[in-house]
């Protein structure tokens, strides 16, 4: 650390003796942490961090004067609207196969929408199951798809590489994030917004980002029937209306969550603390 001007820790918790040594040498240590809940270690080590950066004020649930909201850091040059046409009745959702992602609720909503529907809505879920609990849930999701007669309209696609995310997002008409528990701003939702893909989310932390579209794009968690209603209402919108929503959502990401803006803010924070400590 003799030639280090600052230490930036992104989401990690394995900092050990590093932050003690940095504190002794008066080297600024900045943590980026964004989640709906926090492990006790973060609170215990707060005195040793120069600043805590996070996505928004709501994504670091510990009250401290060290908290600074800097945005999420989305590559808005990579995640853009492509010229390839989207499938007009396709919904996509991405994220680890986990209870908190609300996939059971989403599949149930598709069951409600497609029952007796001659013009069905399709759903592709991208994500991997890692833990034993996740694997058990995966089996349950497959059974639910079968029980609701959705085998021809709902598919579990497995993990998707990050470099294929823009292509996948541009293939759909709508992104649905059915999260059921405390979480930060799901990165995949912001990536969808950057691609001008309209989104419906059950995460209340997105409500300020939806602005005038909140009543359409936000759905309380664990409400399959209401989620079905929101999806159905979205598909009644004209192409012009959908494109306007997508354009407005991208503007929010570019203004507040672009990766270049994030790094500029982090560097500025380091500079300010370096000057203060000199």
pLDDT tens sequence across 67-76 = 999 888 899 9
Q: What is the pLDDT of residue 180?
A: 84
Q: What is the pLDDT of residue 183?
A: 67
Give the DSSP letter string of 23-73: HHTT--EEEE---SS--HHHHHTGGG-SEEEESSGGGS-S--TTEEE----
Per-domain residue ranges for the chain? Answer: 7-72+258-277, 90-256
Q: What is the pLDDT of residue 275?
A: 54
Can you list the residues of the chain whose pLDDT is less than 50? none
Q: Using CA atoms, how far apart are residues 238 and 26, in angstroms rounded to an integer? A: 58
Q: Is 18 helix (H, G, I), strand (E, B) or coil?
A: helix
CATH for the stretch 90-256 = 3.40.50.2000
Q: What is the pLDDT of residue 270?
A: 87
Partner residues linked to 176 by β-bridges = 200
Residue partners of 204: CB distance under 8 A and separation at least 6? 218, 220
User: Half-sphere exposure of 188 toward its Cβ, with a 13 Å CA cutoff?
Assistant: 29
Q: What is the pLDDT of residue 274?
A: 67
Q: Using CA atoms, how far apart are residues 22 and 45, in angstroms rounded to an integer? A: 13
Partner residues linked to 94 by β-bridges = 126
Q: Each residue of 195-209: pLDDT tens digit?
A: 999 999 999 999 999
């Amino acid at each position: 650390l003799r030639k280090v001007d600052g230490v930036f820790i992104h989401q990690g918790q394995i900092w050990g003796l590093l932050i003690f040594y940095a504190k002794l040498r008066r080297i600024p240590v900045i943590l980026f942490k964004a989640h709906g809940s926090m492990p006790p270690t973060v609170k215990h080590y707060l005195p040793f961090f120069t600043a805590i950066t996070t996505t928004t004020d709501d994504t670091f649930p510990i009250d401290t004067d060290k908290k600074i909201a800097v945005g999420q850091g989305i590559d808005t040059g990579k995640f853009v609207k492509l010229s390839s046409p989207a499938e007009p009745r396709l919904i996509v959702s991405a994220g680890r196969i986990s209870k908190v992602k609300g996939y059971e609720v989403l599949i149930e909503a598709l069951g409600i929408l497609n029952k007796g529907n001659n013009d069905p809505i399709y759903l592709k879920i991208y994500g991997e199951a890692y833990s034993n609990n996740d694997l058990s849930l995966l089996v349950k999701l497959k059974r639910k798809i079968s029980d609701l007669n959705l085998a021809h309209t709902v598919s579990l696609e497995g993990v998707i590489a990050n470099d294929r995310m823009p292509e996948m997002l541009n293939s759909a008409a709508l992104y649905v994030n059915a999260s059921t528990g405390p979480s930060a701003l799901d990165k995949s939702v912001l990536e969808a917004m950057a691609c001008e893909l309209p989104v419906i989310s059950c995460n209340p932390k997105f409500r300020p980002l939806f602005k005038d579209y909140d009543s359409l794009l936000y759905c309380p968690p664990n409400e399959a029937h209401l989620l079905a209603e929101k999806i159905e209402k979205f598909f009644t919108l004209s192409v012009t209306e959908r494109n306007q929503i997508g354009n407005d959502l991208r503007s929010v990401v570019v203004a507040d969550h672009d990766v270049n803006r994030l790094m500029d803010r982090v560097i500025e924070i380091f500079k300010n603390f370096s000057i203060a400590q000199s």
